[in-house]
Amino acid sequence: MAKKQGPPDVPAPGAETSGKGKIKLIVAIVLGLLLAVGLSVASTLYFMNRDDAGKGEEQAQAPAPTASGKPAAIYEVLAPAFVVNFSNNGGRQRYMQVSVALMSRDQVALDALKEHMPLLRNQLVMLFSSQDFATIATPVGQEMLRQQATASVQELANKEIGKLAVEQVLFTNFVLQ
C-alpha cells in the first residue's frame, strides 16, 4: 500500500521573518553593548584628563601657607620601596623593606633634587644595608635610622643643588625579616 502524500509543509507567514528578527535583535544588542563600552571609555578618559589638567595647575601654584605661617608640606614618594639585605651577628641573612617619602616645602628644590634620584637612592641603600638587625628591630632604632636618612638626604641636597630641599625623610612602611 502506498502512503498518501500530503502537500509539502509550507512555513507559516511569520516563521521566515522570526529568524531575521532574531538576527536583528542580536545585532541591536551587540551594537548597544559596543556603544555603552565606547561611552564608558570616552568618559573615563575625559575625567582623567580633566583631573590631570587640574593637578598641573595646582602644582604650578605655590603651596598655600598653613596656619603656622609655613608653606604646606609636599610629599614625594620614592618608588619602588627599598629592599636591602644585611648580615646578622649570628651570620644569618636578614632582609629589610622600607617605603620612603620625602617631605619638603619647596617644590622647585624638590624637582631639582629629582635629577639626582639615582645618587639619593644609592646613598639610602648603602645606609640601610649597613644597619645592625638588633638595633633597627626596636622603635628607637628605627627612629634613629630615619634621622640618619634625613641627615644623609639633606647633606646630598646641599651638596648637589646648594640648598635644603628635604625637611624630613619619612618611613611609610618598614618590614624586617
Q: Per residue in 120-145, pLDDT tens?
A: 999 999 998 888 888 888 899 999 99
Q: Is 3 exposed, middle or buried (0-12, 13-18, 19+ CB in 10 A)?
A: exposed
Model confidence, pTM: 0.59
Q: Is the pLDDT of residue 60 over 60?
A: no
CA distances from 73 to 9, 131, 167 (A): 84, 29, 9
Q: Is the pLDDT of residue 51 over 80?
A: no
Do residues 116 and 161 lie in contact, with contact meaning Cβ atoms separated by under 8 Å?
yes
pLDDT tens figures, 1-28:
556 665 655 555 555 556 788 999 999 9
Q: What angle, 0 to 180 degrees and rounded to 10, lies between the N-to-C axes of helices 139-161 and 107-114?
A: 90
pLDDT: which is higher, 59 or 132: 132
Cell digits of residue 56:
598641573
Q: Is 136 exposed, middle or buried (0-12, 13-18, 19+ CB in 10 A)?
A: buried
Nearest by Cα to 153 from 139, 143, 141, 163 = 163
Task: Tell how far CA 67 is from the center of its chain.
Answer: 30
pLDDT tens figures, 144-176:
999 999 999 999 988 988 888 888 999 999 888
Q: Is the pLDDT of residue 111 over 80?
A: yes
Strand partners, 175: 97
Give the percent of the chain with pLDDT over 70: 77
State residue 55's pLDDT score.
Answer: 57
State residue 100's pLDDT score.
Answer: 92
Section 36-49 average pLDDT: 85
Q: In whole angstroms, what is the distance from residue 60 CA to residue 107 CA?
A: 9
Convert 161-173 to b/e letters by CB count within 10 Å (16 or more is b): beeebbbbbeeee
Nearest by Cα to 152 from 133, 166, 138, 132 = 166
